């Protein structure tokens, strides 16, 4: 990649909005999103599942647009922009660690879903085959991520069209088998789950993807040519997320009976077999549609995992730079991100990654709301801190932001885990705004004075450097 993560995007590297939209549409049309459609529909039923998807669309658009506008104006990716506004230079390491765990975790889960589907389709069962396949797939993600943003945008556009053509064929099979009516009208299909409980579970899962999409999109909205391009970019990304959910709900229903029968034969009880059927879309697709199902799997993962590799590498680069002042070469950062994904897979900790995803949704939503609150409110009308400051003049740690993220995440995590709050989004957003604004207001004089002092030092250092450069030039 030619562009630096720590320098604002030059005009020559900016992209037309369809290119950026194709990257986002490629990311949201993945196995994990197909699985998400099945989870929402099967836990909440079609009617309430539709409500959950509508909520996801609105929330994804709003967060993607507002966060994307910040990274566009700064010309920097989300991890680096978060230095400027909510974490500080050293503090942004915390955000990078969260992002690495979440995004690389998603990368690893997708690799396993693809790998398991291939292993199942070809009947490979040896451990060495499994290891060799996962390592080989990870090498493919590394190789593809090195092509650069423009090439990946074009590739995504082609693969998205191909993917939806293939998925359209499966939907045709559903209609031809007379299952379309039931597939679009069924209620809760998970044994022992009530309608209210299922809707809460489904809407939580859907909301989780909204925060992930907004922060992921922020790495690419910085390449937009015009600010108004952010509207169609956000609309396309959010719309494709919902469309993929819908296809996922239909495809999962189509292969549900065969999948439940397969997992029941492996010793699962009724609830476990039903849950396994919708959380293993690769196996379900191969069972339901054979080679066509395997084609869906490969097409969906080739584009999304490449983009995930880029996002994970961005976080790795920021982590090394913020903690050690080391600017990694782009290929090195990509290799490290995928190596971490392999550790997740081969170390057998993907269950912990999946368990962390619900808590991770609290982190990502709070992170998005923090950025929005700091940029548009605290540094806007309240004038507590400045916008557009140089990276060299940023404070080491913004304790207001780090404290808010930690406090909000712990409080809402406990409320959700204990069942006090069924949908933590409803408490995460107001608590994030209140805590950060309160801390900022109480420290307003100190923040303003510290910002002014750092900016003055930056200007002074620049003048000294310019003077020294002129002196050297005169001597020469």
pLDDT of residue 472: 41
Residue 125 lies in a domain: yes
Residue 350 lies in a domain: yes
Q: Could you give the 3-state DSSP secondary structure of residue 278?
A: helix
Provide the percentage of residues in the chain whose pLDDT is more than 70. Answer: 92
CATH number at residue 207: 1.10.4160.10
Residue 385 lies in a domain: no
Q: Which residue has the higher pLDDT, 242 or 2?
A: 242
pLDDT of residue 63: 96
pLDDT of residue 1: 46
pLDDT of residue 218: 92
Residue 372 has pLDDT above 90, yes or no: yes
Q: Which residue has the higher pLDDT, 86 or 346?
A: 86
CA distances 351 to 105, 131, 270, 336, Å, are: 10, 18, 21, 21
Residue 468 has pLDDT above 50, yes or no: no
Residue 133 has pLDDT above 70, yes or no: yes
CB 68 within 8 A of CB 217: yes
CB 298 within 8 A of CB 285: no
pLDDT of residue 62: 96
Range of lowest pLDDT (2-11, 67-76, 321-330): 2-11
Mean pLDDT over 223-236 rounds to 95
C-alpha to C-alpha distance for 370 and 85, rounded to whole angstroms: 9
In the 3-class helix/strand/coil scheme, how is 443-455 assigned residue by residue? CHHHHHHHHHHHH
pLDDT classification of 264: cutoffs 50, 70, 90: confident
Structure tokens at 153: 């945008």
pLDDT classification of 475: cutoffs 50, 70, 90: very low
C-alpha to C-alpha distance for 324 and 303, rounded to whole angstroms: 32
Residue 421 lies in a domain: no
pLDDT of residue 36: 83
Mean pLDDT over 127-144 rounds to 88
Phi/psi for 63 (5° steps) reads -65, -45
CB 350 within 8 A of CB 108: yes
CA-nearest of 61, 63, 225 to 150 is 225
pLDDT of residue 464: 52
Residue 136 lies in a domain: yes
Residue 446 lies in a domain: no
pLDDT in tens, 418-466: 989 988 999 999 999 999 999 999 999 999 999 999 988 888 877 554 5
Tell me the torsion sign for CA atoms 351, 353, 356, 361. negative
Q: Could you give the 3-state DSSP secondary structure of residue 16?
A: coil
Residue 396 has pLDDT above 90, yes or no: yes
pLDDT in tens, 270-312: 878 877 777 776 676 777 667 777 777 776 677 778 778 888 8
Structure tokens at 205: 């899962």
C-alpha to C-alpha distance for 54 and 137, rounded to whole angstroms: 34
pLDDT of residue 410: 93
Residue 112 has pLDDT above 70, yes or no: yes
pLDDT classification of 352: cutoffs 50, 70, 90: low
| pTM reported for the whole predicted model | 0.88
pLDDT of residue 189: 81
pLDDT of residue 288: 67
Count of CB atoms situated within 10 Å of the CB of 126: 9
Residue 456 lies in a domain: no
CB 408 within 8 A of CB 362: yes
pLDDT of residue 148: 66
Range of lowest pLDDT (26-35, 339-348, 424-433, 467-476): 467-476
Bridge partners (DSSP) of residue 224 are: 15
Count of structural domains, the chain: 1
Residue 3 has pLDDT above 60, yes or no: no
Which residue range forms the structural domain that includes residue 121? 11-362
DSSP string, 291-337: HHHHHHHHHHHHHHHHHHHHHHHHHHHHHHHHHH-----HHHHHHHH
Provide the percentage of residues in the chain whose pLDDT is more than 90. Answer: 36
pLDDT classification of 476: cutoffs 50, 70, 90: very low
pLDDT of residue 354: 58
CA-nearest of 101, 109, 110 to 340 is 101
Residue 135 has pLDDT above 80, yes or no: yes
Residue 379 lies in a domain: no
């Amino acid at each position: 990649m030619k562009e630096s993560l720590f320098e604002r995007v030059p005009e020559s590297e900016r992209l037309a909005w369809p290119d950026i939209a194709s990257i986002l549409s490629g990311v949201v049309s993945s196995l994990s999103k197909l699985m998400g459609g099945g989870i929402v529909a099967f836990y909440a039923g079609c009617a309430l599942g539709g409500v959950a998807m509508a909520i996801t669309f609105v929330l994804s658009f709003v967060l993607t647009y507002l966060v994307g506008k910040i990274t566009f104006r700064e010309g920097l990716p989300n991890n680096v922009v978060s230095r400027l506004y909510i974490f500080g230079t050293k503090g942004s390491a915390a955000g990078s660690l969260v992002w690495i765990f979440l995004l690389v975790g998603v990368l690893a889960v997708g690799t396993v879903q693809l790998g398991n589907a291939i292993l199942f389709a070809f009947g490979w069962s040896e451990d060495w085959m499994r290891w060799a396949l996962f390592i080989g797939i990870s090498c493919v993600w590394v190789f593809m991520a090195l092509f650069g943003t423009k090439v990946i945008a074009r590739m995504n556009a082609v693969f998205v069209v191909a993917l939806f053509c293939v998925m359209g064929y499966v939907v045709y099979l559903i209609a031809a088998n007379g299952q379309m009516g039931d597939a679009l009208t069924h209620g809760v299909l998970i044994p022992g789950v009530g309608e209210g409980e299922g809707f809460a579970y489904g809407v939580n899962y859907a909301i989780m993807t909204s925060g992930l999409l907004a922060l992921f999109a922020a790495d690419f909205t910085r390449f937009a040519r015009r600010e108004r391009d952010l509207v169609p970019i956000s609309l396309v990304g959010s719309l494709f997320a919902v469309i993929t959910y819908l296809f996922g709900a239909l495809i999962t229903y189509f292969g549900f009976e065969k999948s439940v029968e397969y997992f029941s034969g492996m010793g699962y009880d009724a609830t476990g077999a039903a849950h396994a059927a919708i959380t293993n879309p690769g196996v379900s697709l191969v069972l339901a549609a054979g080679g066509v199902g395997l084609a869906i799997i490969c097409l969906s993962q080739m584009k999304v995992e490449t983009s995930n590799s880029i996002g994970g590498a961005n976080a790795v680069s920021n982590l090394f730079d913020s903690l050690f002042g080391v600017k990694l070469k782009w290929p090195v950062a990509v290799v490290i991100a995928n190596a971490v994904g392999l550790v997740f897979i081969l170390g057998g900790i993907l269950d912990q990654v999946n368990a962390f995803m619900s808590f991770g949704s609290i982190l990502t939503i709070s992170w998005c709301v923090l950025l929005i609150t700091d940029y548009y409110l605290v540094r806007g009308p309240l004038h507590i801190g400045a916008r557009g400051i140089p990276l060299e003049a940023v404070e080491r740690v913004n304790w207001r932001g780090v404290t808010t993220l930690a406090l909000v995440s712990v409080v809402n995590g406990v409320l959700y885990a204990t069942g006090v709050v069924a949908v933590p989004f409803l408490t995460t957003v107001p608590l994030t705004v209140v805590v950060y604004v309160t801390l900022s207001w109480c420290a307003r004089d100190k923040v303003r004075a510290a910002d002014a002092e750092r900016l003055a030092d930056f200007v002074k250092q620049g003048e000294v450097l310019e003077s020294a450069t002129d002196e050297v030039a005169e001597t020469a």
